[in-house]
Every structure is written in structure tokens, then in C-alpha cells.
Structure 1
Amino acid sequence: MLAENFEQIEAIGLNLFFAAIFLLIGLAINDVLKRGDVPKFGRVIVWLVLFFGCAGFIAKGVIQFFMESGGIGS
């Protein structure tokens, strides 16, 4: 059973790994912003950049899912 679903398990594990990395990056950035006493405008810019990075990663996954389920790129 494990050999049959290896690719799916691998994909889920990789996505969870990236989610954990994004979470740790967010926590590190939050700590740096607090310790550096960064103004509110700077904080907003930093969080927007982080958000767009995460959104791009999620969009890539959604696009990849639809392309593979439609038979394109198989």
C-alpha cells in the first residue's frame, strides 16, 4: 500500500514542510521587527512581501493541480 501511494505521501509531506518553513520564517521576521523597533509602515511592507511569497507558492500549487488533473503536463 505504501508503494502505491508513495508519490501522494511525498507531495503531502513536501507541502507540509514548506508550510512549516513559511511559519518559521514568519516567526523569525516577527521577532526581528519587534527587536528592531521598526515603524508601522515598514512592518506592513515586510508582511506584504511575505504574504505575496506565500500566495505565489499556493497559486503555483493550485495551478499545478489543475494542470495535472486536466491531463496537461503529465
Structure 2
Amino acid sequence: MLAENYELIEGIAFNLGIVALFALIGFAIHDVLKRNDVPMVGRIVVYGVLGLGAMGFVAKGIIQIIWQTSGVSG
């Protein structure tokens, strides 16, 4: 494998790892909320916070792509 492909593979593996991590966190939170009979308002708040965290990672990725295509290093 070529050395220049390592960064691409690392980026893809990182993004897939983050997706898997958010899925596992979501399953764990769903199980805890279901077992403790949490009201609907509490569930909405918890899933909303988890969703905002996931959207933060998506926004970071989009901003990073825009910066890299415009020539800003980082």
C-alpha cells in the first residue's frame, strides 16, 4: 500500500468509527430510557442532545472539506 493512501484510509476509518460510536451510544441510551420508563419529553431531550452532537461532527466534516478545497490548511 502506498504511503499517500494511509491518510485517506485513516480518515475513512475515523469517520466510520465515529458513526459506530454514536450508534452504540444511541442503543445504550435507548435501553436505559426504555428500562426506566422515562417520559416522552425526557426522551426527546436526550435524543435531541445526541442528535446535536452527531450534527456537530457532520458540520465539522463539511467545514473541513470546504476549507481544504479553498486552500485553507489546517
- Shared fold per TM-score greater than 0.5: yes
Structural RMSD (CA): 1.0
Q: Distance in 2 between matches of 1:16 and 1:73?
A: 23
Structure having greater relative contact order (Cα 8 Å, sep ≥ 6): 2
Unpaired stretches in structure 1, ≥5 consecutive residues: none
The ranges of structure 1 where at least 4 consecutive aligned residues each deviate by more than 4 angstroms after the TM superposition are none
TM-score of the pair, normalised by structure 2: 0.94
Aligned residue number for residue 11 of structure 1: 11
Unpaired stretches in structure 2, ≥5 consecutive residues: none
Q: Distance in 2 between matches of 1:69 and 1:23?
A: 30
Q: Distance in 2 between matches of 1:46 and 1:71?
A: 38
Question: How many residues of Structure 1 are paired with residues of Structure 2 in the alignment?
Answer: 74
Q: Which has the higher helix share?
A: 2
